[in-house]
């Protein structure tokens, strides 16, 4: 209601400004007529009451009458302009509302589980850039490939995968393709904890090895090496893809295990993993 009165006031002001010359001229005539003495009604100072009433009435009515002389085009133009302004303002507000709603819906649909400050630092520290990843061109092992078929094995709380047990680890690995949050859906080909067991033939220094895997979803992953957290990994969003490349610290000769788990209150309660591989950097000289 307050907005309505504000717009009506603006409409009146616009009317006064649209044809200022015409309005000033007309009001000048009003002033002259109101100041002219009425000799017929008040001669010699007699009958002062009715004459005063008549003057007051004239002052109240004559301006309205004189205002009626204003060209109708003035009012039509003013009303049209003011109406358009109101519509434009309403349109801008509607557009801003639509943008706000779209952003809110978009953020809600992505469902990304946030990392805290410390987790962000760990992820950044361990992540290898695209350019640096190209230097790690020697693959020690690879499980699965992009777009591989779903694993049809039964659900398990923790899945132990040992390198060297499959005939074709790249194209037909018997390893879960889906990692769920704790208490997540117990569907085929899924697990809450994926443990990859492998053996290294010699020592590797900090930064010599990288672990790579492709994942989807909004959940937060945790990647461990020998039960020590390497890095938490933020999801890309609901159903969205993320390529992950992490630099390993010092890794000695012998048996090791890389573990992947996920967490977060999302609608899917888990995400897909296509392939995983361990690569070493090419050394020259």
17 has pLDDT over 70? no
Q: What is the 3-state secondary structure (H, E, C) of 152-189?
A: CCCCEEEEEEECCCCCCCCCCCCCCCEEECCCCCCCCC
Query: pLDDT-derived band of residue 29, with 50, 70 and 90 as boundaries?
Result: low
**Angle at Cα 263 formed by Cα 260 and Cα 265, nearest 5°?**
160
To the nearest 10°, the Cα dihedral for 65, 71, 72, 75?
-90
Identify the pLDDT of residue 109: 59
Query: pLDDT-derived band of residue 147, with 50, 70 and 90 as boundaries?
Result: confident
Identify the pLDDT of residue 85: 53
In terms of domains, do 64 and 124 share one? no
- Overall average pLDDT of the 2-13 stretch: 46
For residue 6, the enclosing domain spans 2-109
Q: How many domains does the chain have?
A: 2
Identify the pLDDT of residue 75: 44
Out of 109, 127, 147, a domain closes at 109
Out of 72, 88, 109, a domain closes at 109
Identify the pLDDT of residue 238: 93
Identify the pLDDT of residue 51: 46
Nearest to residue 242, comparing CAs of 252, 255, 231?
Answer: 231
- Overall average pLDDT of the 38-45 stretch: 43
pTM: 0.63
Residue 225 inside a domain? The answer is yes
Residue 285 inside a domain? The answer is no
**Six-digit token string for 101:** 């709603």
Distance of CA 212 to the CA centre of its chain: 29
Identify the pLDDT of residue 110: 73
What CA–CA distance (Å, rounded) separates 79 from 73?
10
Contact 116, 142 (CB under 8 A): no
Query: pLDDT-derived band of residue 56, with 50, 70 and 90 as boundaries?
Result: very low
What does the pLDDT look like over 186-245, one tens digit per residue? 999 999 999 999 999 999 999 999 999 999 999 999 999 999 999 999 999 999 999 999
Out of 61, 84, 109, a domain closes at 109
The CATH number covering residue 188 comes to: 2.60.120
Average pLDDT of the residues of the chain: 76
Identify the pLDDT of residue 79: 46
Contact 270, 223 (CB under 8 A): no
87 has pLDDT over 80? no
In terms of domains, do 157 and 199 share one? yes
In terms of domains, do 23 and 131 share one? no
In terms of domains, do 131 and 268 share one? yes
Identify the pLDDT of residue 116: 96
Residue 43 vs residue 241, higher pLDDT: 241
- 36-50, 123-137, 180-194: segment of lowest average pLDDT: 36-50
Identify the pLDDT of residue 45: 42
Residue 38 inside a domain? The answer is yes
Query: pLDDT-derived band of residue 35, with 50, 70 and 90 as boundaries?
Result: very low
Residue 3 vs residue 257, higher pLDDT: 257
């Amino acid at each position: 209601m307050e907005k309505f009165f504000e717009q009506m006031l603006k409409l009146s002001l616009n009317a006064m400004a649209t044809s200022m010359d015409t309005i000033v001229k007309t009001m000048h005539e009003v002033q002259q007529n109101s100041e002219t003495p009425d000799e017929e009604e008040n001669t010699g100072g007699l009958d002062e009451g009715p004459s005063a009433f008549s003057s007051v009435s004239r002052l109240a009515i004559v301006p309205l009458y004189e205002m009626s002389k204003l060209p109708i085009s003035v009012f039509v133009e003013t009303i049209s302009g003011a109406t358009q302004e109101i519509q434009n303002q309403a349109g801008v507000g509607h557009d801003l509302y639509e943008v706000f709603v779209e952003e809110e819906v978009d953020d809600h649909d992505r469902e990304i589980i946030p990392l805290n400050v410390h987790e962000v630092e760990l992820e950044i520290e361990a992540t290898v850039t695209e350019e640096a990843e190209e230097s790690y061109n020697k693959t020690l092992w690879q499980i699965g490939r992009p777009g591989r078929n779903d694993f049809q094995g039964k659900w398990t709380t923790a899945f132990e995968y040992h390198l060297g047990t499959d005939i074709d680890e790249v194209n037909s690995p018997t390893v879960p393709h889906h990692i769920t949050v704790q208490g997540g859906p117990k569907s085929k080909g899924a697990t809450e904890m994926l443990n990859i067991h492998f053996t290294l033939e010699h020592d590797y220094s900090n930064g010599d090895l990288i672990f790579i895997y492709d994942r989807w979803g909004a959940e937060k992953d945790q990647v461990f090496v020998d039960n020590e957290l390497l890095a938490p990994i933020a999801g890309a969003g609901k159903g969205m893809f993320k390529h992950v490349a992490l630099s390993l610290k010092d890794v000695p000769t012998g048996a090791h295990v890389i573990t992947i788990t996920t967490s977060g209150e999302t609608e899917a309660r888990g995400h897909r993993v296509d392939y995983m591989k361990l690569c070493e950097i090419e050394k020259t000289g």
